[in-house]
Structure 1
């Protein structure tokens, strides 16, 4: 979260730098972006039996019924060496079958839904054997079972993933991407996705080792849908981590994403849009690259998709874009994004309400023309209603959106917002426990009062509204707040607009309204 001092410097109505406002909002929602979402994991375990499973073993554990002991590992190693040292085809086939069944038992232990014995397996010393089973000299069945087992180990903690990497699995998985077996290719993709999902270090290493082109080669019509889902998910992991991937990689990935964003499969579509959203979360340069790829006009209509997961991902993607420059924001606006926002603000899912309000807070941090587009779309009354009645997280985002109007908007726009009833719900939230939002609201109220200060009748009307709804009492109490910035703004509001001396101010209309606008626009 941004510090309060930085917040103060950006939102005290001194130098209306729209890009700075947007960057601040992008930082403020870092917790939104880092929310743990159960529908999109960086690592995935393979639990199900699949078509093409190479044989079926009798048990999900070793003959002793638990994780392998040192003796079990020794037996597994002997089976492994039996395949390596076989001198005739018959012996080799028998040894291969025996080893495959043993590796399959290990894999099945790791495929249990609850508490798989991953650490016990790593501690037993079985990992190097599993990794060597990926080598081309072993049968497709052994490669598949070993790859599956290692996939599930790599789906665990960072330490467990590191154990797989340190055992030398990455180069062998990359080799398996050229296997003639679709199942083996898919399992290798899955395993690499789990390794990449652990963070940028492994991501960059896999990229350097040549992952990307073989991965993209699977994006073709004949690829089975389940396999293509895994490929798309790995693309998400390539785009996910910070720092973002190199510019050269983004240029390679965007054409693939531009193909996948048209896919009819919901899983693929959702993951594709999340990949785009991660790229647009990397700064203005990455945002421009996404814009140049012509993906944005395809994503915007997905805001009205019938699947909530698609809407959520699309909203995040376009929301990230409008944290960019005015020109980047304008492109999104020009493609009709605001036509979708009314439904999103009124969506049954509160998280979508919140993110739609966050999106609009970055539009109202733009220029006057962009603020006017929000008014013209009829969205301000809905934002005011959410400020009054929404859940707390949505109220916070609505507070940002409406307060930004008092910074970026014209006096006429602010006056219109006041007429719509924004003051009362702003005052209502002044007793919450969130200092940052109190600061946002006080800043908005102070800006409104300043804009009306040259029209005494309008100012009196505003101060009466604030007093009658209990806002004045709350502002007076905030003069005792521990937060210095809150104390200062509250003091300034009381001192400048509610002190006894205000009665001695000049008569209305002597100076004109803010920015040269006629004072009559503040008439009520």
Structure 2
């Protein structure tokens, strides 16, 4: 789902000395896989700007006519922090230069005098860089931006090759675009057949400005009134046109075409199926064969589109995705060569969505392409903050009913000293997924259990149990870890289990699920306790046999639970 235009973010940070690390916090925007409104933190090493020796103030204002993805926004913040981290009065008698502010604004916003500005093109729109009382920094910043964001110049409406009809079309499209920016846009009108017809004419045009304004307007309209606008565009034949624009050769047009396709696919399972069935994934593969991993604007939007297309919705969609899984993994192979972390995160979401533990051919291809090793490497990389998609992919691989893959993960040291932080993470789903991987590894036997013990995560299990005791989903995964560990461990490994008081965790978890009358979970936990008792650890369970809970289990309404409790009683005392 896209976001409305005209996003504005302001960051203020005081710094004291040259070389100090400054933390710039930016809101995550337009990220399809991370929690909306979460904070993305970026550590920046201050660098001096010629002529400035002392850090005074970083005052960053970022305004863009386009919604920015998280990685782009962070880069924007980084560019300005590098440029403004070291400012000092350059000899003037007043102290105004200490309050230097660099602004990045759309051309239709109020700006400072022309002598204090530079123009930079971003996503086909002119952005005005302006500085108050410190225009000397502008040249440095402008050069940096042009070097790192070579997105092409803005094309003028008065293209000599444009006919009068084309110029009138562009003017109509710009009028539509302006209406999408109103605080209360006329949504019903913007989704009406006459507007859809104008947008389609713009998309079919060979003029850049017509295509660009049509795409921008359609992106905003499908966000503001998804179903009506998407239905109108799809019926008008927009999907094959967008597929063709993916190979247009213009980065801005390609990126916005991918964005609009994502909006269409995000409208519902039927729309997503229509996009996938149209051959969009094959077109993305063709695009990746022609572009380079350095084209950030293109591959960031394309990777986001691919992940959205592969996200499961219904059986019909899953079936067609399965038919194209080899092409999808080829796309992922390209994306994982990218230097951009957000692209890699999207690529692993794609892998997570398409990895079917029962599809042996696909699993073998994923293994042969080295995705498992790369995922484990990136899991512990300091460069990537969002590890959720990587963990989800590894969790899916660990569930394959073949010990080869779990043993391979153990040999690659998937569980390391730093794994504990995933088990205690507050991000929704992260700790649960980390526990799933532990539980699945235990099923592969004592070698994988030994790897878990050596990683020093055992002391953290009780903390996990305490933190998530009120969370059913996380606690159930803990149950299966305890069960699998006790079922597959050697006597020495069970001794480690007791040493870390996980038998206490076992009893606590049993109480939780007994109160819920969850028979299947109770059976699993009683089986774990019996494994401990029969391995010589009966003493710690003798007091439990006299508790009210045990008596209730002894006479439980389910015959299997009652039978296990009676066997436990015999094994404890004899």
Scaled by the length of structure 1, the TM-score of the pair is 0.68
Q: Which residue of 2 aligns with 1:211?
A: 283
SS in 2 for 1:310: coil
Q: Which residue of 2 aligns with 1:82?
A: none
Pick closer, same or farther for the CA change 1:117–1:454 going to 2, 3 Å: same
Q: Which residue of 2 aligns with 1:274?
A: 349
Q: Which residue of 2 aligns with 1:150?
A: 218
Displacement of 1:348: 6.2
SS in 2 for 1:374: helix
The equivalences for 1:172-187 within 5 A come to 172-187=241-256
Pick closer, same or farther for the CA change 1:299–1:92 going to 2, 3 Å: closer
Pick closer, same or farther for the CA change 1:256–1:207 going to 2, 3 Å: same
Pick closer, same or farther for the CA change 1:267–1:231 going to 2, 3 Å: same
Displacement of 1:448: 2.5
Pick closer, same or farther for the CA change 1:250–1:39 going to 2, 3 Å: farther
Pick closer, same or farther for the CA change 1:120–1:38 going to 2, 3 Å: farther
Displacement of 1:182: 3.1
On the 8 A contact 1:432/1:438 being kept in 2, the answer is no
Displacement of 1:466: 2.3
Q: Which residue of 1 aligns with 2:436?
A: 358
Q: For residues 375 and 572 of structure 2, what CA distance do their matches in structure 1 show?
A: 53
On the 8 A contact 2:541/2:572 being kept in 1, the answer is no
On the 8 A contact 1:134/1:143 being kept in 2, the answer is yes
Pick closer, same or farther for the CA change 1:422–1:52 going to 2, 3 Å: closer
Does residue 174 of structure 2 align to residue 104 of structure 1?
yes
Does residue 525 of structure 2 align to residue 444 of structure 1?
yes
Pick closer, same or farther for the CA change 1:352–1:465 going to 2, 3 Å: farther
Q: For residues 355 and 186 of structure 2, what CA distance do their matches in structure 1 show?
A: 39
Q: For residues 424 and 336 of structure 1, what CA distance do their matches in structure 2 show?
A: 28
Pick closer, same or farther for the CA change 1:132–1:312 going to 2, 3 Å: same
Does residue 548 of structure 2 align to residue 473 of structure 1?
yes
SS in 2 for 1:133: helix
Q: Which residue of 2 aligns with 1:322?
A: 398
Q: Which residue of 1 aligns with 2:420?
A: 342
Q: Which residue of 1 aligns with 2:234?
A: 165
Q: For residues 145 and 445 of structure 1, what CA distance do their matches in structure 2 show?
A: 65
Q: Which residue of 1 aligns with 2:307?
A: 236
Q: For residues 505 and 162 of structure 2, what CA distance do their matches in structure 1 show?
A: 78
Q: For residues 555 and 185 of structure 2, what CA distance do their matches in structure 1 show?
A: 55
Q: For residues 446 and 426 of structure 1, what CA distance do their matches in structure 2 show?
A: 11
The equivalences for 1:112-511 within 5 A come to 117-123=186-192, 125-136=194-205, 139-155=207-223, 157-158=226-227, 160-197=229-266, 198-199=268-269, 200-207=272-279, 211-217=283-289, 219-221=291-293, 223=295, 225-241=296-312, 243=318, 246=321, 249-281=324-356, 283-285=358-360, 286-306=362-382, 309-324=385-400, 325-339=402-416, 340-347=418-425, 349=427, 351-390=429-468, 392-393=470-471, 394-432=474-512, 435=516, 439-449=520-530, 452-453=533-534, 458-459=537-538, 461-467=539-545, 472-477=547-552, 487-498=558-569, 505=574
Deviations, residues 257-294 of structure 1 (Å, cap 9, x unaligned)? 23332433222222122222223256443332211111
**Matched residues, number:** 420
Displacement of 1:416: 3.8
Deviations, residues 72-99 of structure 1 (Å, cap 9, x unaligned)? xxxxxxxxxxxxxxxxx99974443333
Q: For residues 194 and 491 of structure 2, what CA distance do their matches in structure 1 show?
A: 72
Pick closer, same or farther for the CA change 1:159–1:173 going to 2, 3 Å: same
SS in 2 for 1:418: helix
Select the structure with the greater relative contact order (CA < 8 A; seq sep ≥ 6).
1
Unaligned runs of 5+ in 2: 1-31, 38-64, 69-105, 107-120, 128-158
Between 1:328-337 and 1:195-204, the stretch displaced more is 195-204
Displacement of 1:165: 1.0
Q: For residues 161 and 525 of structure 2, what CA distance do their matches in structure 1 show?
A: 82
SS in 2 for 1:366: coil
Between 1:358-367 and 1:256-265, the stretch displaced more is 256-265
Between 1:123-132 and 1:153-162, the stretch displaced more is 153-162
Pick closer, same or farther for the CA change 1:424–1:177 going to 2, 3 Å: closer
Unaligned runs of 5+ in 1: 1-34, 57-88, 506-524
Q: For residues 477 and 363 of structure 2, what CA distance do their matches in structure 1 show?
A: 22
Q: For residues 231 and 334 of structure 2, what CA distance do their matches in structure 1 show?
A: 33
Pick closer, same or farther for the CA change 1:465–1:307 going to 2, 3 Å: farther
On the 8 A contact 1:350/1:391 being kept in 2, the answer is no
Larger fraction in helix:
1
Q: Which residue of 2 aligns with 1:62?
A: none
Pick closer, same or farther for the CA change 1:384–1:92 going to 2, 3 Å: closer
Displacement of 1:216: 1.9
Deviations, residues 483-518 of structure 1 (Å, cap 9, x unaligned)? x6xx4454234433347x986x5xxxxxxxxxxxxx
On the 8 A contact 1:312/1:352 being kept in 2, the answer is yes
Pick closer, same or farther for the CA change 1:211–1:441 going to 2, 3 Å: same
Displacement of 1:248: 6.3
The equivalences for 1:47-66 within 5 A come to 47=67, 51=122, 53=124
Displacement of 1:167: 1.3
On the 8 A contact 1:374/1:380 being kept in 2, the answer is yes
Q: For residues 216 and 254 of structure 2, what CA distance do their matches in structure 1 show?
A: 11
Scaled by the length of structure 2, the TM-score of the pair is 0.63
Displacement of 1:354: 2.7
Larger fraction in strand:
2
